Structure 1
Amino acid sequence: MTVASKLKQTIASLKGAQATMETYATHHPDQRVKETFKICGQQAEQIIAQLDQRLKEMEFEEPQYRGF
């Protein structure tokens, strides 16, 4: 497995975790817990954006990794 494919797999997993946190933030009855999940979801979103940027750089530098 290449670094690029591992990175894509990690991004996909993080997107799933972010979606779960957003769901918990929407449906949890405790306001403090909702806010905590919301903050965690926002942090995950920032991490995903950074990893997406790195993936684009990798694909630009190594065109053979595009599309995998």
Structure 2
Amino acid sequence: MTIASNVKQCLSTMKGIEAQLSSMALNSLDKEAQVIFHEATLTIEEIKKDLQYRVLELERMEPQYSGS
């Protein structure tokens, strides 16, 4: 598996984690838990943005990775 494939797979996993945390924040009855889940979602969102940028860099540097 190439580096680009690994980064894209990680990005996909992070998107799933972000969705799960967001759902847990919405469904939790405990206000403190809602805040914690929401803060974790924001952290994951930042990581996701970094990974998206890295994917773009890899595709720019290595055209063979584009679209895969």
> What TM-score range do you get, normalising by the shorter chain?
over 0.9
Q: Percent identity?
A: 34
Residue 38 (1) aligns with residue 65 (2): no
Unaligned runs of 5+ in 1: none
Q: Which amino acid aligns with 1:49?
A: K
The size of the alignment, in residue pairs, is 68
Q: Which amino acid aligns with 1:13?
A: T
Runs of 4 or more consecutive aligned structure 1 residues displaced over 4 Å after TM superposition: none
**Separation in 2 of the partners of 1:13 and 1:64?**
23
- Report the equivalent of 1:27: 27
Distance apart, 1:63 and its partner CA: 0.3
Q: Which amino acid aligns with 1:25?
A: A
- Report the equivalent of 2:50: 50
**Separation in 2 of the partners of 1:24 and 1:37?**
7
TM-score normalised by the chain length of structure 1: 0.98
Q: Which amino acid aligns with 2:31?
A: Q
**Separation in 1 of the partners of 2:3 and 2:40?**
26
SS in 2 for 1:29: coil
**Separation in 1 of the partners of 2:61 and 2:8?**
16
- Report the equivalent of 1:15: 15
Unaligned runs of 5+ in 2: none
Q: Which amino acid aligns with 1:11?
A: L
TM-score normalised by the chain length of structure 2: 0.98
